[in-house]
Amino acid sequence: MLVARSSAAVGSELLERLAAARIRTDELFDLVRSDALYDRPIPERHRIIFYLGHLEAFDWNLLRERLVHGKALHPELDQLFAFGIDPVGGGLPADQPADWPSLKEVRHYTGHIRQTLDAALEGVLDSASASMPRSGEFPASVLLNVAIEHRLMHAETLTYMLHRLPLERKLRKAPRLELVAQPVEARMIEIPAGSATLGLSRNNLTFGWDNEYEQCAVALPAFLIDQHKVTNRQYLQFMVAGGYEDQIFWSEADWAWKTQHNITHPAFWSQSGDQWFYLTMFDLVPLPLDWPAYVSHAEASAYARWAGKSLPSEAHWHRAAYGSPEDSERPYPWGSEAPSLRHGNFDFQRWDPAPAVGGPEGRSAFGVADLLGNGWEWTSSLFEPFPGFEPFPFYPGYSANFFDGKHYVLKGGSARTATCMLRRSFRNWFQPHYQHVYSGFRCVSR
Ligand SMILES: [Fe+2]
């Protein structure tokens, strides 16, 4: 609740959260060898150096005129580092390392921007109410939350990118994983007919992105849902059964993508002889059979068809996660207690997944396990606006650019998702052929 507390308390909490988010992103760049900062680990994305500049440029471009009333200091770099790339359509960027400013120049830019912004923010948030509207209709607290969550989202997506950086191009920041077998007993849970609440009411003072509004209710008939995410063990059965070779399990577009790119297994997997291996953030390990299978939407959909099931809609997922036999709904699957480490694998406690069995303390009222953290979950729902959607005027393309029928909603969160984005209304989205997301899935049947 943002306005129930003094503005000074709100302001200082926001600045603390911004500082903590910066630590998260700074430590990511610290694990890249300095001679690898101009690498492009994912062909469809920018080089790593872009993101070093982007995080400060975003904050500065967002807050300079709207909140701190500063002068433009490096307008060319503000523009160069303004926007990332969403890889729809297959066109690959062709820029060369020499097209980018030197590391010294980028570091000077980011240091100068951060210092200038911090000095100005302290004044703004100390002297005025953080929760009062500024820049027209939006409180300073909304703008600061946008900056904080934007950075924390990049803390996750940058990790996807650095996951693809060859192991010898990064510095190990975690001990070798000890893999523990914890087989999942695959079962489905019956969810009775009922209503699922999606989105966020504008009367709720919690921060939400534009696509989280307005709140709406969806009535659902009874359905069955997997208690756990589909594991690597289950996914391997689909592969051994010839799932990648039989077009019947794939939509036309997904089959064309799979064929064109010669996709024969999940992007985190590799094969040597008869043995499957899994690329973790810092190691190549024998395939952990009990971990959730991280795959693209296309691969998840093919598995679901093979299993005679389907992916849950966004509303199915909400009902299974937040509904209850009493028909009341919870803020979190386990109840109303704020998320903590015993509820799931999220908030940067691990670099990699944990066994999909999940802990008993994270389960929903219906007993569905491992819902928040340990891998986003694909849904069958296209990313579309809720009725009453209005784009943020200070960031009009954030969601609206992706209401294109080419992106699907994901729910839940991964090991690298910050706690603040585990709120019920948060929606993530990716296009169906992007393989680098920490995203698994579970199936439903009716
Ligand atoms: Fe961004």
d(CA 197, CA 382): 17
Q: How far is the CA of 142 from the centre of ligand 1 (A)?
A: 17
Q: How far is the CA of 121 from the centre of ligand 1 (A)?
A: 21
pLDDT tens-digit map of 317-353: 999 999 999 989 999 999 999 999 999 999 999 999 9
Q: How far is the CA of 359 from the centre of ligand 1 (A)?
A: 33
Q: How far is the CA of 151 from the centre of ligand 1 (A)?
A: 7
pLDDT tens-digit map of 300-317: 999 999 999 999 999 999
Q: What is the per-residue pLDDT for 90?
A: 60
Tokens 């509207």 belong to 133
Q: How far is the CA of 177 from the centre of ligand 1 (A)?
A: 31
Mean pLDDT of 403-419: 97
Q: How far is the CA of 45 from the centre of ligand 1 (A)?
A: 12
pLDDT tens-digit map of 211-267: 999 999 999 999 999 999 999 999 999 999 999 999 999 999 999 999 999 999 999
Q: How far is the CA of 155 from the centre of ligand 1 (A)?
A: 10
Q: Break the chain down into helix, strand, coil percent, rounded to 5.
A: 35, 15, 50
Q: How far is the CA of 110 from the centre of ligand 1 (A)?
A: 15
Q: What percentage of the chain has pLDDT greater than the value 70?
A: 94
Burial degree of 401 (CB within 10 A; 0-12, 13-18, 19+):
exposed
d(CA 409, CA 381): 6
Q: What is the per-residue pLDDT for 5?
A: 62
Q: How far is the CA of 87 from the centre of ligand 1 (A)?
A: 14
Q: How far is the CA of 84 from the centre of ligand 1 (A)?
A: 6
Q: What is the per-residue pLDDT for 127?
A: 54
Q: Which two tokens stand for residue 379?
A: 């849904």
Mean pLDDT of 68-89: 83
Q: What is the per-residue pLDDT for 3?
A: 44
Q: How far is the CA of 263 from the centre of ligand 1 (A)?
A: 28
pLDDT tens-digit map of 376-389: 999 999 999 999 99
From residue 351, give the alpha-carbon distance in Å to each of 33, 182, 219, 258, 280: 18, 18, 37, 28, 8
Neighbours of 341 (CB within 10 A): 14
**pTM over the 0.85 mark:** yes
Q: What is the per-residue pLDDT for 2?
A: 43
Q: Which two tokens stand for residue 393?
A: 């005027």
Q: What b/e readout covers 277-294, taking b as 16+ CB neighbours within 10 angstroms?
A: ebbbbbbeeebbbbbbbb
Contact 374, 358 (CB under 8 A): yes
d(CA 147, CA 21): 10
Q: What is the per-residue pLDDT for 205?
A: 82
For residue 1, pLDDT over 50 is answered with: no
For residue 408, pLDDT over 50 is answered with: yes
Q: How far is the CA of 148 from the centre of ligand 1 (A)?
A: 11
Average pLDDT over the chain, rounded to whole? 93
For residue 126, pLDDT over 90 is answered with: no
Tokens 């809720």 belong to 386
Mean pLDDT of 35-52: 95
For residue 86, pLDDT over 80 is answered with: no
pLDDT band with cut points at 50, 70 and 90 for residue 122: confident
Q: How far is the CA of 157 from the centre of ligand 1 (A)?
A: 10
Q: What is the per-residue pLDDT for 88?
A: 54
From residue 12, give the alpha-carbon distance in Å to each of 114, 117, 126, 196, 205: 17, 15, 8, 36, 18
